[in-house]
Amino acid sequence: QATASCRSRQTIWRDMAGKPLRCISVGKLKTPFWKDAAAHYLTRIKRWRHLEYTEVRDGDAALPPDQRNALEGRRIVEALAPQDVALVLDEHGQKLSSPQLAALLRRLDQEARGRACFVVGGAWGLDDIVRQRAFKILSLSDMTLPHELARVVLLEQIYRAECILRKVPYHH
């Protein structure tokens, strides 16, 4: 009976799947524990929602930071599809609680706006061209996070938002 109940809950959750999501970030995750953490949350998220992850190549380390940002910014903007509703992560962006993020995803699901696309910059942040393309600019924290950690925190928060939307006892 517990198996049948679990199966029926999974069916309900799958039926409640939101629109596909997309994430764009600069560079590859190089550190094994960040890769493992990201893979962990991607697996959890994909139970309920399709999530496409795009990594754009980071700029040449020999370039000065402003030129590197400009190059990475162009690559991000080129990777954005017309249907992408860019939710850009920036330390100066709007801070949302986890329930507020869940509400934002619900609202984007309900409106015919396109596909929510989270954007995470590289080690030197984001170029203004990316901020100008943003539907919303969000912040994960008042503190500056390494971009690899920011990616993992974002994935955990997306998973948490999905749990909030489905009333799964993860967020408390």
Within 13 A of 153's CA, how many CA atoms are on the CB side?
17
**pLDDT value at residue 17:** 66
Confidence category of residue 111, pLDDT binned at 50, 70, 90 = confident
Q: Say what the pLDDT of residue 100 is.
A: 97
Q: Is 105 a residue whose pLDDT tops 90? A: yes
The yes-or-no verdict on residue 25 having pLDDT over 70 is yes
The pTM score is 0.88
Residue 91 has pLDDT above 80, yes or no: yes
Query: What average pLDDT score do residues 106-119 get?
Result: 90
Query: Per residue in 1-22, pLDDT tens?
Result: 544 444 444 444 444 568 999 9
Model confidence at 120, pLDDT cuts 50, 70, 90, reads: very high
Residue-by-residue DSSP string for 11-22 = HHHHHT----EE
What average pLDDT score do residues 138-150 get?
Answer: 92
Residue 164 pLDDT grade (very low, low, confident, very high; cuts 50, 70, 90) = very high
Query: pLDDT at position 112, please?
Result: 66
